[in-house]
A and B are shown apart, each in its own frame.
Chain A
């Protein structure tokens, strides 16, 4: 005879029911084990629908309850689970693992040039590559770059809002903060409001952020008027260029000075700094840090004089030893100790560097080089444009043509024709886009850099798992 199971059917449940049913059943059966209960509790299947929208949140998640009320959303939180809580099969908890370790553990003796971290970065094409960063790379970044410019110590409170899995948050946030004994305030979930209140609550002295965060903070500050925290002695921006307007307004409102950094995962973050109030030039990435050498070279690797555009190459103790398990890519990128950045730019007579483009993003049309950045910067000045990205796409005859992806400002009317007319008025004919596509938003990475790769046709969404990808299918 078949086993009898109970079916609990709850077609009009809510968020709390999803937590309450299974925990009540578990509690009942575990308690029942120790009591001489007359009726044993059966195996149970629960099928539930929902009559109200809601959020089920773990104990560590902060939910804006006011906003939830306004949206008429239930918020059900699960209680902090103790040791006896259900755990996912085939895993262990960090605390159980730590219980096997001792607080007297003696750190190993490790060569500073050994890999400490692999950071995966997406190139223009292909799968992410693992950039090998050594202990020396990180210590050099902390001591000879961060500290050279900012002199951090235990009196500093640093805002850790940038993701620590990214080179910028890791190499300029976490590691120098710990090295110099600062207080690091961790912000796990970015929202402009949360960031501003955190700066205020911890009386932050150092903010390390990306341009979009600075923009959001200004927008918030404009609405608040009063009570703008003015404790920040250092503000650093990186990851993407910052408009001068934003920089100036932020400095004024928050009474701070912003340094704009430039660097790559391959250089353990920053190699130069454009320091407002000190050595600053609009549109520049600044002069290289003292421990860094930077040059501009042509396609044959020959040095170019000031003012001429070529590839920027970098050497110094922050440069990676290469990509994990990728000797060919490593050899292509690092030649005689010089990292070839793939960024195109020039140096002026004062030793300031300027980036003009990514080498691989250049659009070549009828023998002319077209700078996507130049076209982007033009379209960006259109008053109804919120955001824009420009790439080269093949036309019917496989020749490269310019295509622009445009995000309109909220509530604005803007046609393809409007954008094209604007370009025709302001650009050489061969640079005018042949196609315009309107988008809701543009794909960006964690620091706000536009992911052009994802705009190209034939882009494969790697978040999907298809049956043919799995081993079971291969068998």
Chain B
């Protein structure tokens, strides 16, 4: 008896194919039996979150095994899968999630930022489930600068405040540098005329918060990167979010010293702290060197 629904499709296939390979991915083989177990766990995990038959669960994933796990996991539960284009941004995502009333989304870790930013506009969205490590970030001299924080959780009353205060630090610094009408969109980005000028991501580990932000002082020269990361010509302008930069808005860009001063002063004001330039301690220095050599070796 062959399956009449996508609900039972994988268990039926596993019944007849057993340990035969279902998925091939970057040298790995995943059997039908394994796929059956994994999709069952996804279904059970979603059910544990309160997702029921008929509920919509969005998927924003490229062609990786987790897409298949998510898709058939949702099917086993009798929920409705809403897979959508991984190149969507901003209002495109808001429209889809609101229209279908998605209660959960399964997406890539590196899209956390995109989803964080729209979540407050999507009241139905209760669960953000992240997978994969496919971050891809470009840095370029005189174009990108990064502002990071590693702080105790006690610095901020909650994660929302961590986002908000970081947003205000960057906004004021940008204002000091001549960018007047930028605004901070909660949990997401600093924007100017709809386009991104800085991103903010807050992560947690044990009793610490790690805050990563990147600001654009000038426009990317993307050609160099697209020679390394192949992207077909017609989608090039869709791969990156629409971005702007201090240079584009004000007609000039600050040098690093000026930038540092603006950010440091804004941080002191908003956090009520004294900042003192310092070096890494001995143990930190070991960790730093170890990480550096590891990241170039991988």
Tell me which residues from 205 to 238 in chain B have a Cβ below 8 Å from any Cβ of chain A: 205-210, 212, 224-225, 227-230, 232-238
User: Contact at A94–B130, with CB atoms within 8 Å?
Assistant: yes
User: Contact at A88–B202, with CB atoms within 8 Å?
Assistant: yes
Q: Which of B4, B61, B127, B295 has the most CB of A within 10 A?
A: B295
User: With a CB–CB cut-off of 8 A, which chain B residues contact A462?
Assistant: 89-92, 95
Chain B min CB distance to A75 (Å): 8
Contact residues of A: prevailing secondary structure: mixed
A282 at the interface (CB under 8 A from B): no
User: Contact at A92–B92, with CB atoms within 8 Å?
Assistant: no
A93 at the interface (CB under 8 A from B): yes
Chain A min CB distance to B85 (Å): 6
Interface string of B21-40 (1 = CB under 8 A from A): 11111100000100111101
Interface string of A131-154 (1 = CB under 8 A from B): 000011011000100000000001
Least CB separation from B203: chain A residue = A86
From A45, A78, A465, contact of B90 by CB (8 A): A465
Chain B min CB distance to A407 (Å): 9
Q: Give A456 to B267 CA distance when docked, in angstroms.
A: 45
User: Contact at B205–A9, with CB atoms within 8 Å?
Assistant: no
User: Contact at B22–A183, with CB atoms within 8 Å?
Assistant: yes
Q: Which of B16, B38, B232 has the most CB of A within 10 A?
A: B232
Chain B min CB distance to A14 (Å): 8
Q: Give A440 to B40 CA distance when docked, in angstroms.
A: 47
Interface string of B161-200 (1 = CB under 8 A from A): 0100000000000000000000101111101011100000
Report the count of interface residues on A (CB-CB < 8 A): 159
User: With a CB–CB cut-off of 8 A, which chain B residues contact A444?
Assistant: 234-235
A39 at the interface (CB under 8 A from B): yes
User: Contact at A325–B99, with CB atoms within 8 Å?
Assistant: yes
User: Contact at A108–B136, with CB atoms within 8 Å?
Assistant: no
User: Contact at A130–B62, with CB atoms within 8 Å?
Assistant: no
User: With a CB–CB cut-off of 8 A, which chain B residues contact A13?
Assistant: 146
Contact residues of B: prevailing secondary structure: mixed
User: With a CB–CB cut-off of 8 A, which chain A residues contact B232?
Assistant: 190, 212
User: Contact at B76–A61, with CB atoms within 8 Å?
Assistant: no
Q: A26-B210, A47-B263, A138-B6 are in contact. Are A20 and B136 (CB under 8 A)?
A: no
Chain B min CB distance to A122 (Å): 9
Q: Give A169 to B62 CA distance when docked, in angstroms.
A: 11
Chain A min CB distance to B29 (Å): 8
User: Contact at A79–B91, with CB atoms within 8 Å?
Assistant: no
Chain B min CB distance to A414 (Å): 18
Q: Give A77 to B293 CA distance when docked, in angstroms.
A: 10
Q: Give A181 to B3 CA distance when docked, in angstroms.
A: 12
Tell me which residues from 185 to 203 in chain A have a Cβ below 8 Å from any Cβ of chain B: 185-194, 202
A44 at the interface (CB under 8 A from B): yes
A50 at the interface (CB under 8 A from B): yes
Q: Give A243 to B185 CA distance when docked, in angstroms.
A: 46
Q: Give A101 to B25 CA distance when docked, in angstroms.
A: 24
User: Contact at A60–B80, with CB atoms within 8 Å?
Assistant: no
Interface string of A73-90 (1 = CB under 8 A from B): 111111111001111111
Least CB separation from B238: chain A residue = A463
Q: A8-B280, A53-B140 are in contact. Are A116 and B274 (CB under 8 A)?
A: no
User: Contact at B45–A98, with CB atoms within 8 Å?
Assistant: yes
Interface string of A26-41 (1 = CB under 8 A from B): 1111111100010101
From A19, A64, A101, contact of B45 by CB (8 A): A101
User: With a CB–CB cut-off of 8 A, which chain B residues contact A39?
Assistant: 281
From A33, A71, A99, contact of B227 by CB (8 A): A71
Q: Which of A158-166, A245-253, A394-402 contacts B (4 or more CB under 8 A)?
A: A158-166
Least CB separation from A323: chain B residue = B99
Chain B min CB distance to A54 (Å): 5
A277 at the interface (CB under 8 A from B): no
Least CB separation from B27: chain A residue = A201
Q: Give A24 to B281 CA distance when docked, in angstroms.
A: 10
User: Contact at A164–B71, with CB atoms within 8 Å?
Assistant: yes
A120 at the interface (CB under 8 A from B): yes
From B25, B116, B187, B203, contact of A186 by CB (8 A): B25
User: With a CB–CB cut-off of 8 A, which chain B residues contact A18?
Assistant: 137, 139, 146, 148
User: Contact at A185–B76, with CB atoms within 8 Å?
Assistant: no
User: With a CB–CB cut-off of 8 A, which chain A residues contact B289?
Assistant: 20
From A15, A29, A108, A163, contact of B63 by CB (8 A): A163
User: With a CB–CB cut-off of 8 A, which chain B residues contact A154?
Assistant: 17, 20
From B6, B139, B210, B259, contact of A53 by CB (8 A): B139
A469 at the interface (CB under 8 A from B): yes
From A16, A86, A105, A441, contact of B292 by CB (8 A): A16
Q: Give A290 to B70 CA distance when docked, in angstroms.
A: 33
User: With a CB–CB cut-off of 8 A, which chain A residues contact B95?
Assistant: 127-128, 462
Q: A57-B135, A164-B63 are in contact. Are A118 and B100 (CB under 8 A)?
A: yes
User: With a CB–CB cut-off of 8 A, which chain A residues contact B81?
Assistant: 116-118
Q: A53-B139, A105-B41 are in contact. Are A92 and B242 (CB under 8 A)?
A: no
Interface string of A95-107 (1 = CB under 8 A from B): 1011111111101
User: With a CB–CB cut-off of 8 A, which chain A residues contact B271?
Assistant: 3, 5
Q: A46-B147, A60-B134, A79-B294 are in contact. Are A88 and B112 (CB under 8 A)?
A: yes
* Given A16-B296, A24-B286, 17 other A-B residues pairs in contact with their CB atoms under 8 A: A3-B271, A4-B274, A56-B138, A58-B136, A86-B203, A88-B128, A101-B47, A103-B40, A157-B24, A178-B9, A183-B21, A188-B64, A441-B236, A465-B118, A465-B189, A469-B91, A470-B120
Shortest beta-carbon contacts, A-B, top 9:
A101-B44, A464-B194, A58-B133, A191-B230, A24-B287, A105-B40, A86-B203, A101-B45, A108-B78
15 contacts between A and B (CB under 8 A): A2-B272, A11-B260, A79-B294, A86-B204, A86-B205, A103-B38, A120-B96, A138-B6, A165-B59, A175-B6, A178-B35, A186-B25, A325-B99, A467-B183, A470-B120
